[in-house]
Structure 1
Amino acid sequence: MDPLIFTPLLKRLVWGGRRLGELLGKRLGDHDDYAESWEIVDHGDDQSVVASGPLAGKSLRQLLDEFPRELLGRDAALAAEGFPLLLKYLDCHRVLSVQVHPDDEYASRMPVPDKGKTEAWYVLDAGPDSRIYAGLRPGVDAEQLATAVAEGSCQELLHAITPRVGECYFIPAGTVHALGEGLVVAEIQQSSDTTFRLFDWNRVDAQGRSRDLHVAEALAVTDFARGPVTAQTPVADTDGLQTLVRCHAFELRAAHWGASGESAASGHTLPIGTPVRLGGDNRMRLITVACGRVTIRQSEASKDDRPSITLGIGDSAILPAATGPISAESESGPTTLLVAQLP
């Protein structure tokens, strides 16, 4: 099975803008509120559809039904539950609401059961005044948070960070968080769309109406033992990649080519043209290009004989388990390739 490229699903929301098109090359309409590009998803009616090739037109759900072992390999037993991960890009033209996601146990008991939502962000762009709000300040308890929400001062209890391009932030289920104005991020998460909105910055629409909050549910799932969140420290691996996150739901890794503080905020980069090997171990992977351009090829033939696929910034693909070993490389830098896989 060849690498699979899908047509993105674009989501318009009140906090979105135009940078999914301007920065990532997504095909936008005339509106100015494009907030999310769902790159790879199998969640209810939200379905990625193969863009080209012999499987063009098939949804990710159909692929799981027809080719569970070819797609997921060692994790084929998970196919009956749906594709386990969701990959998206977000354009935070305005600050997002303060929110929190449930864990698997809580989500399974909801009237419409879902997966929990643990996620990680990789920062592609940030303005000088951009902020990430992640975690509560030390010592904040449920009573203090509920009071602050009622008084419209929730922001005073949030841990605020000034993020840099190339940083990664890990947001386990139960972590109170919000993405601030001016950010563009890639997000890998469990395949879930359950969000409890805790605070919306006292915003109202043109008719003076505020968005619905889910305060009771948010307080019930918040992990008050988890304090402030900081950027992940990348761990250099022997295969040329870095591990950014390793958790119960996914692993997120990165390959950086070329010396650039923006594409690799901390450390190890590969020389341009140096290939990294992915796959060949009966595991499925998601890949997306966060900076530059990456060419992928089958690893088992000579370079001149191997068909190749070039992915630009914002382009994503699934490398099915049955694809076998893949060579990925950048021919000009700086370049960053994000790689997500099941643990």
Structure 2
Amino acid sequence: MSVHYPLKFEPILKERIWGGNKLNTVLHKKTEKENIGESWELSDVEGDVSVVANGKFKGKSLTFLIDQYKEILLGKKVYQRFGIKFPLLIKYIDAKEALSIQLHPNDKLAKERHNSFGKTEMWYVMQADENANLIVGFKKNSNKEEYLKHLENKSLLEILNVDKVKKGDVYFIPTGRIHAIGAGVLLAEIQQTSDVTYRIYDWDRKDDQGNERELHTELALDAIDYNAIDNYATSYKPELNKSKNIVDCQYFTTNIINLDGSIAINNENKDSFVIYMAVKGKATIIYNDAKEVIINEGETVLMPACLSKFQLKSEEKSEVLEVYIK
């Protein structure tokens, strides 16, 4: 059997203390629960491996597909670099309340301490309530001493950068950069395959049992990037029916396609699987001449490296993120 078709996966829904119901009400993820914070769309994290939701491989795991098809699925270059470990974790996140202030270690620290990849990531804001914000980085260059003083005094926000956000805003979060998603933000997240997070402040909130969540104060100290930059938001200019780059790093490349009509896609030169996330409206993938797979808003598909030529069309104004590895 060939893996020559667009692969959809069953969402892995995660309850979170800060989660809400937009993943259900806006993105139509089926759940009865009220505090779903994350939908893991494509995951190779141990214990949370994605399962195919469509076609002849329905019910098979991502791990099974990689083991069977290797570079046919991943691309030769990607397979040589990562082997049978899928390198990206793709999510939609709904923050009804603010997430903890946190950061992620780089590859070296993550390998030494957790036998894991580091966690470079990016956010694409799909919807934001009025006055919703994100915390990203320091206002100005800082150091361990200043940081610890403000952490102890519970005055971290005095030295951290807070940006009000709206739909379409993009933020790139390299390892070491302090960040937090604010209340009222729904976003798409693309990251390295890693579930290692250093939580440094959690707003003193308690769970149902009256316990505060664990903080990682000591682990974080050597992992934090204390340097500030002028502007943390990523600027980009989308063009109708063209794939325009918004983030390009060693771990992933993300483009945005503003779609109204039909465009021909040719990914032959990428030598990588390509992921498409519908972040507004819906799009149809037409492949193998006349076969179709629809990506509704909030859905994700994995295009195997062997399926590099197809049409992408929409009868309404839609936005699709295109993600791959160089």
For the aligned pair, the TM-score class normalised by the smaller chain equals over 0.9
Aligned residues: 321
Distance 1:256 1:238 in 2: 5
Q: 1:119·1:171 contact (CA, 8 Å) conserved in 2? A: yes
What SS does structure 1 have at the residue aligned with 2:158? helix
Distance 1:315 1:213 in 2: 33
Q: CA deviation at 1:228?
A: 5.5
1:166/1:238 CA distance change after superposition, 3 Å: closer
1:129/1:308 CA distance change after superposition, 3 Å: same
1:13 paired to 2:16: yes
Q: 1:159·1:229 contact (CA, 8 Å) conserved in 2? A: no
Identity within the alignment, %:
32
* Residue identity opposite 1:331 in structure 2: E
1:228/1:106 CA distance change after superposition, 3 Å: farther
Q: 2:120·2:191 contact (CA, 8 Å) conserved in 1? A: yes
1:315 paired to 2:299: yes
Q: CA deviation at 1:208?
A: 4.2
1:127 paired to 2:129: yes
Q: Which runs of 5+ in 1 are unaligned?
A: 258-271
Residue by residue, what CA displacement relative to the aligned partner does 1:242-287 show, whole Å, maximum 9, x if unpaired?
1110011000111013xxxxxxxxxxxxxx2131414233321111
Q: Which runs of 4+ in 1 moved over 6 A?
A: none
Residue aligning to 1:286:
275
1:274 paired to 2:262: yes
Q: CA deviation at 1:297?
A: 1.0
* Residue identity opposite 1:77 in structure 2: Q
1:53 paired to 2:55: yes
Q: CA deviation at 1:207?
A: 5.0
TM-score by length of 1: 0.89
Distance 1:284 1:135 in 2: 31
TM-score by length of 2: 0.94
Q: 1:295·1:308 contact (CA, 8 Å) conserved in 2? A: yes
What SS does structure 2 have at the residue aligned with 1:274? strand
Residue aligning to 2:104:
101
Query: Which is strand-richer, 1 or 2?
Result: 2
Q: CA deviation at 1:216?
A: 1.1
When the two chains are superposed, the root-mean-square deviation of aligned CA atoms in Å is: 1.7
Residue aligning to 2:90:
87
Within a 5 Å distance, the mapping from 1:140-155 to structure 2 comes to 140-155=142-157
Q: 1:278·1:328 contact (CA, 8 Å) conserved in 2? A: no
Q: CA deviation at 1:139?
A: 2.5
* Residue identity opposite 1:273 in structure 2: G
Query: Which range moved further: 227-236 or 82-91?
Result: 227-236
